[in-house]
């Protein structure tokens, strides 16, 4: 088998959300480089491989990206098949395209295997549809943590009319709140804060834009967590499904006692 680097999305944490293609790629790998947020249970699909931890987590000591690049290159040039396991999806805040480009410039074949992103899985586990006919026509995924620590255009996001899913925002709740309020989003906009998406220890805190920082503190919200901001964050699909097609959202929320 010729050398290759697979950039694999391991999903949000639940090992059953791994794709069949990811399982096949892991079975071919001689070396597996695994991020901290990947559930180690997925390693049952690659008992033949050497496993190397290359953790990268906000607020913690991280493996330098340049070291990860050179490690992938070293093993590929040795003729080995390498699997780079990333939490969620490699191309959603996962540097998948950067790594693929870097390796391609050095003549190494790569293939990206998509994974389920935490924003989708966490919302679904909490009964939140990220899009909903007549309510939310789209969804916008953003990260509150930028490479140069610059601020996002919160005003544009507030006016966009889509459900916002914010990654890596636990440490910046005040900035997110203030930016969206300044951009015209209403104080009472529903917010769901979801910790450890898709895992057995997943927790959720329902709040509003104005109260989310205070509620997160009382709840003890910790990373990894995602924020879902928008009208749909007040929904609970299991309770709403029988009447979704007939009722507007205000009636649906009133029926479930959600404010």
The CA distance from 182 to 161, in Å, is 15
For the question of residue 35 being annotated catalytic, the response is yes
3-class DSSP assignment, residue 71: helix
Are 183 and 158 spatial neighbours (Cβ–Cβ below 8 Å)? yes
Neighbouring C-beta atoms of residue 183, cutoff 10 Å: 15
The CA distance from 46 to 234, in Å, is 40
Active-site hit among 56, 80, 86, 172? 56
Active-site hit among 4, 14, 33, 35? 35
Q: 32: number of CA atoms within 13 Å, CB side?
A: 27
For the question of residue 185 being annotated catalytic, the response is no
For the question of residue 101 being annotated catalytic, the response is no
Nearest to 132 by CA among 247, 25, 31, 40: 247
Active-site hit among 14, 72, 80, 168? 168
Residues identified as active-site? 35, 56, 168
């Amino acid at each position: 088998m010729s050398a290759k680097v697979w950039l694999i999305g391991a999903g949000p944490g639940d090992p059953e959300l791994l794709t069949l293609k990811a399982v096949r790629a892991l079975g071919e790998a001689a070396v597996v480089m695994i991020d901290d947020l990947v559930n180690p249970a997925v390693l049952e699909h690659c008992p033949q491989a050497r496993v190397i931890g290359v953790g990268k987590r906000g607020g913690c000591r991280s493996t330098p990206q340049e070291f990860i690049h050179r490690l992938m290159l070293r093993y590929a040039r040795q003729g080995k098949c390498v699997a780079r396991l990333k939490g969620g999806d490699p191309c959603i805040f996962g540097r998948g395209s950067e790594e693929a480009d870097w390796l391609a410039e050095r003549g190494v074949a790569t293939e990206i295997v998509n994974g389920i992103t935490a924003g989708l899985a966490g919302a679904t586990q909490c009964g939140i549809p990220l899009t909903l006919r007549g309510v939310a026509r789209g969804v916008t995924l953003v990260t509150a943590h930028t490479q140069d620590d610059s601020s996002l255009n919160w005003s544009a996001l507030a006016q966009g009319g889509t459900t916002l899913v914010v990654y890596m925002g636990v440490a910046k709740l005040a900035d997110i709140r203030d930016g969206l309020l300044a951009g015209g989003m209403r104080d009472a906009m529903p917010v769901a804060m979801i910790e450890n998406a898709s895992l057995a220890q997943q927790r959720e805190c329902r709040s509003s834009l104005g109260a989310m920082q205070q509620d997160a503190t009382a709840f003890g919200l910790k990373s990894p967590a995602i924020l879902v901001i928008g009208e749909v964050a007040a929904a609970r699909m299991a309770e709403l499904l029988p009447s979704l097609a007939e009722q507007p959202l205000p009636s649906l929320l009133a029926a479930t006692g959600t404010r």
